Amino acid sequence: MCAPLLPSAARRQLLLAGAASLTLARFATGEADAAEPADANAPNAIAPAEALTRLMDGNARYVANAPANKDYSAGRASRVTAQYPIAAIVGCADSRVSPELAFDQEPGNLFVVRVAGNFVNEDGLASLEYGVKFLQVPLIVVLGHTNCGAVSATVDAIQKGVVLPGHLPDLVRSIKPAVAIAQLHGDADLKASATVENVRLNANRLSVSKPIIGGYVKEGKVKVVGGIYDLATGKVNLL
């Protein structure tokens, strides 16, 4: 029998406890300040613009069905001791979207946080802060996608009064602000418009989030962008 889901507060405490344990371990080994200053020789010590170029070049290869990454065992041993992701992805849990494939990146290149509806909650924010602070991730991409079930369910809940079971109303509450913004535009396709606004809203939130990511963005060390993955073509369109 599966264990019951922990309440959000309990999950957050466990996550923070895990992060604290990692930090303490790094203090004990003299590695706690590895992110301050950043290691100029690290494989991901690149400008945010360069990281974005690599992702978009990879997406172009994916769309053309000409991926550069075909041997996923390559570099496996070297990744045992450390990771150097060039970007963090805030993605949807949708099974049709795989960030590593969509951007044609080898294992270890992407630090991925996924939740249905690709929005940022406190748990996800803590993960992204870890990626920026301790892994020196220079780029964060909030990646939505066409025909998003989570956004569609939220629109239906608002327009049709659909009552969702379990914890799904929590998901609706998180996406509802984006739907409200999309409604102001009066676009014919509300679900598509809400998908775009959901990405923009969460990218903007991350850009000014305190106490970590917003500061890195202000200093130019980190860039936050949004994009929409087209399920039909595989192409990522930046917003």
- Does residue 148 have a known ligand-binding role? yes
CA 68 → CA 44, 72, 101, 102, 237, distances in Å?
19, 11, 10, 12, 21
- Spatial strand order of the sheet with 139-145 comes to 110-114, 87-91, 139-145, 223-229, 236-238
CA atoms within 13 A on the CB side of 3: 3
- Does residue 92 have a known ligand-binding role? yes
- Does residue 145 have a known ligand-binding role? yes
Q: Is 98 in a helix, a strand, or coil? A: coil
Q: Nearest to residue 179, comparing CAs of 199, 193, 164, 189?
A: 193
- Does residue 2 have a known ligand-binding role? no
**Binding-site residues for Zn(2+):** 92, 94, 145, 148
**Binding-site residues:** 92, 94, 145, 148
